[in-house]
Amino acid sequence: MAVAQSGILALGTSSHAYLEFDRLPGTTDRALVEAVAELTATVKTTGATGLVAGLRPELWAAVQPDEAPDAHGYDAPVVGPDGFTMPATQHDLVLWATGGGRSIVFDATTHAVAALAGVAGLADETVAWSHHHDRDLTGFEDGTENPPAAEAVGVVTIPEGEPGAGGSVLLLQKWVHDSSTWYALERSVQEDVIGRTKPDSVELDPKPDDAHAARTDQDTYGHIFRRNTAWGDTAAHGTMFVGFCAQQGPLAAMLDAMAGIDGPRDALTRYTSALTGAYYVVPPADVLARLAPAAE
């Protein structure tokens, strides 16, 4: 049985960093994958950090075609009927480092950049944190619809018998908030935008058709597991959307719905804008381990 990367469901970490890389000229797909595999093999359970590695779907499929799920890169922006756009900024590799403090995550990421220096260049880096455990910077609870822990593995992990079994598909987006406009709204207006009450995240009944909870309803578009975090400083800040699923379809459907392709545009997008967008295949830990040069 394939083994999922443990960091996907390693809850409770407070410090995070997301590093996206592009393959250096002259580096083969396999050389990059082997370097990533060797890096992940060095992560120790006593090191107090976690590391999740994801690869551009086409790159992973080129190296391991029998282990590749039906997924593709975020190669074109998602554009709504009114012109609202979620940009495509696909890279070749993502590393998500987590830990209980900034210092150990910093050590892990600087080590990773150095270890991959011969095959990949750092294209984007975002430092983030878990805001009040389960809130995003709008002040609302984030991840209310996440499955219980006992069911989460089934939501994020590709089932046995399917290509890529034990792996997952990751959607990573960086959103910047228009906080001055958002916090000028009355709480009742904010709740209509989100579709939930602010103190206790109870779904409004009825909720507006364009509420965020309506446009990303998991019973409609499919179930995913969100590991969102907050990023930034007082001048610029927002949400890192970190969504895992056993299939790419639900993630893509939610983006289309938010943009208003199949109905009203998500009201929350009036107050936050996507800066980045990429899909990655997160290979099973055991499959990745077998590709490490040391394992061979």
Per DSSP, the residues of 14-83 read -EEEEEEEEEPTT--HHHHHHHHHHHHHT--GGGSEEEEEEE-HHHHHHH-GGG--S-----S-EE-TTS
pLDDT of residue 295: 54
Domains in the chain, number = 1
Measured CA to CA, the distance from residue 200 to residue 185 in angstroms comes to: 19
Q: Is residue 105 part of a domain?
A: yes
Q: Is residue 144 part of a domain?
A: yes
pLDDT of residue 44: 75
> Does residue 20 contact residue 93 with C-beta atoms inside 8 Å?
yes
Give the number of other CB atoms < 10 A from CB of residue 76.
11
pLDDT of residue 95: 98
Domain with 157, as residue range(s), is: 6-290
List the chain residues with pLDDT less than 70.
Answer: 46-47, 294-296
Q: Is residue 237 part of a domain?
A: yes
Say what the pTM is. Answer: 0.97
Q: Is residue 222 part of a domain?
A: yes
pLDDT of residue 46: 66
Q: Is residue 296 part of a domain?
A: no
Q: Is residue 295 part of a domain?
A: no
